[in-house]
Structure 1
Amino acid sequence: MEIEKKLEILKEEIRDKKVLVAFSGGADSTLLAKVAVEVSKELLAVTIDNGVMPNDFVENARKVAEEIGIKHRVVKDDFLTDESFKSNPPNRCYVCKNKMYSKLGEIMAQENLDEIADGTNISDLLEDRPGIMVNYNKNIKNPLVKAGFTAEEVRELLGSMGLNYSPSTTCLATRISKNSEITPKKINRIKYAESLLKGLTGSAVVRVRDNEDTALIEVEKIDKLLNRGVLSHIDSELKAVGFKRVTMDIGDHGDSKKDIVVYKPCKDEKNKIMFETELPYSVNIKSTCGELEKLGSVKCSTEMGIAMLETEGRNVTIFKKGKIVARRVIDKEDAEKLLIQVLPHVRRVI
């Protein structure tokens, strides 16, 4: 589907509604807020400052909000006083998002708004993000998902509009190994390390992961670090704030295109085309089957861990371990369209 068509669907999803947008200033919430200010009846963008965000997070959100001309509010909270968050369980993103969206729900009611919308996109549904279950549980609207926008398409559209956005909006708690307590000391040394590396490299996206006192550096512009003197400086600075060891991931950490589906030859059916994708999480087959009934005919076996959907002559099989297989599709584009329809109805195991 062309981006222009997706944009029209996005507009219709929020047209003439009174909307509270969960606003980070990142690409997705920026596009959502820009469209909402043009077509919604009323818009309030709310940024939650939870105490575990990058140093420039709030200021960048304010700048983006001002640039697109929206009503914007920053709400401060300290998640480090919440033991359920500090313990850093495997579903920490669910815990965090549940706290944030509960607060947004209170604001929505106070302001007499119709709904909360956030910038979740199709690409997010292919990643390990337990927090997305909060959207379903609290009836948070996902207009970008409804319109079928991928992360790449969002960035492409913002570029064509000439709109700036903040590239660094992820919670610093995600840098800390799961089940390792989130403490002010760890958050502060991550903030310091990432600010240092942004200054040294000019990279907009920097991650310093904290794995039991070992720092793992991820940057877009790694070339500027490949100097013995610079590396020695980084090593001494990070050890001075409490890291015992400093390492670097030399992979590509910039925005890159990810295929939604990949082609798989169908050995037993020469004239059939098959595509598949792998989700990085386990699927709740029973809940997913109930959702898939909205799309077509469903056969479900919780014992075997399989859900099968027949819709418009095409077949989708979803396995408990996360694999999704599309059969009887025309080509890759058709498979992607089918997956975009199906993904919002997949329910993960929390």
Structure 2
Amino acid sequence: MKIVTKKLRSLEQILSDMKSVVVAYSGGVDSSFLAAVSHQRLGRQSLAVTANSPSFAPWELEEATALATRFGFNHRIIETKENEEPGYAANGARRCYFCKNHLYSHFHDIATKEGYRYVVDGSTTDDLKEFRPGGEAAREWAVQSPLVDAGLNKNEIRELSHTLGLPTWDKPAQACLASRVPYGIRVTTKILDKIAQAESYLRELGFKQLRVRHHDSVARIELPPEELCFLLESNIRRRVTSRLKKIGYQYVSADLDGYQTGSLNRSLRSGTINRGIQDKSGE
């Protein structure tokens, strides 16, 4: 038996032993896989919950809902307001902590009121190596991470997702819209809406793996290097520039370094986020 198959069997046993779970389900690669396996093992005793808010991209909600319907998940959408949390809006280095703390409080309430034994998330062994303040919130709310307990990494989850027939197996990595805003710049609903509109338009043009980084009056577009040539074709360039200016940006730029997950975390690694901004996030 392949190692990855053994890990899947381990995950199935872990979930069976849990008896009933609320799955933090965003529709990404990891949470979709967890929701699918949980549904297979626990049926109606598995509830996949998606938190909808201004920081959650509209197309992500549509895709998460479509997948849940296709595979028959016990699925629920709740409305959350993490963007109204002072620590989240301040957008310091611990923004993700305040976001997850808000979300997990809602998931915990559902589990407590409706008799689900655990809240589980899609964290993987790879996530343990990265800067993720949300992990602290998970520990505080006793959120379990079955994929970590089964020893699964992201590549193995993609492989197993393909085997299970999940369309998310090759889905690009996603993150909340606030991740497009540099640390220290206050996150507002207006800014999140501009980013959502800009990325939605680029997706309509056929771009899938992308980020529109918000730098006040400047929209900095990140795409895989091989797609930059298409963006810079005169007709596409004019259309993109025109639409993003209508959305509210004065300048539209293409990042020549290309698409990079967590590119705004460079300021954390370089130490350019000053102490005052970090402290502000804890208000």
TM-score, with normalisation over the residues of structure 2?
0.84
Residue in 2 aligned with 1:305? none
CA distance in 1, matches of 2:142, 2:80: 23
Name the SS for the 1:64 alignment partner. Answer: helix
- TM superposition shift of 1:126: 2.1
Indicate whether 1:146 and 2:156 are aligned: no
Name the SS for the 1:116 alignment partner. Answer: strand
Residue in 2 aligned with 1:7? 8
Q: 2:54 aligns with which of 43, 51, 55?
A: 51
- TM superposition shift of 1:187: 0.9
Residue in 2 aligned with 1:182? 187
Q: Deviations over 1:77-99 (max 9, x none)?
A: 23333333222122100100100
Q: Deviations over 1:130-167 (max 9, x none)?
A: 11111222211111111121112111211122212364
Indicate whether 1:233 and 2:239 are aligned: yes
Residue in 2 aligned with 1:199? 204
- TM superposition shift of 1:37: 1.4
User: In structure 2, do the counterparts of structure 1 residues 124 and 167 end up closer, same or farther at CA, with 3 Å as the change threshold?
Assistant: same
Q: Deviations over 1:315-349 (max 9, x none)?
A: xxxxxxxxxxxxxxxxxxxxxxxxxxxxxxxxxxx
Residue in 2 aligned with 1:209? 213
Residue in 1 aligned with 2:116? 113
Considering fraction of residues, name the structure with more strand: 1
Q: Deviations over 1:152-199 (max 9, x none)?
A: 211121112221236464210111111111112211110111011111
Moved more, 246-255 or 142-151: 246-255
- TM superposition shift of 1:241: 2.1
Identical amino acids, percent of aligned pairs: 33
CA RMSD of aligned residues (A): 2.2
More RCO (CA 8 Å, sep 6+): 2
Name the SS for the 2:207 alignment partner. Answer: coil
Q: 2:165 aligns with which of 162, 166, 184?
A: 162
Considering fraction of residues, name the structure with more helix: 2
Counting matched residue pairs gives 257
- TM superposition shift of 1:208: 0.4
Name the SS for the 1:180 alignment partner. Answer: coil
- Give the partner amino acid of 2:192: I
Residue in 2 aligned with 1:72? 75
Q: Is the 8 A contact 2:29 2:173 kept in 1?
A: no
Q: Is the 8 A contact 1:25 1:169 kept in 2?
A: no
- Give the partner amino acid of 2:132: R
Indicate whether 1:127 and 2:133 are aligned: no
Q: Is the 8 A contact 2:82 2:98 kept in 1?
A: no
CA distance in 2, matches of 1:60, 1:96: 21
Q: After superposition, where does 1:30-49 map in structure 2 within 5 Å?
A: 30-40=32-42, 42-49=45-52
CA distance in 2, matches of 1:164, 1:110: 33
CA distance in 1, matches of 2:174, 2:48: 15
- Give the partner amino acid of 2:24: A
Q: Deviations over 1:62-110 (max 9, x none)?
A: 1111122110000012333333322212210010010000110000001
CA distance in 2, matches of 1:61, 1:7: 22
Q: Is the 8 A contact 2:85 2:98 kept in 1?
A: no
- Give the partner amino acid of 2:73: I
Name the SS for the 1:217 alignment partner. Answer: strand
CA distance in 1, matches of 2:187, 2:260: 26
Q: 2:251 aligns with which of 242, 245, 255?
A: 245
- Give the partner amino acid of 1:156: E
Name the SS for the 1:141 alignment partner. Answer: coil
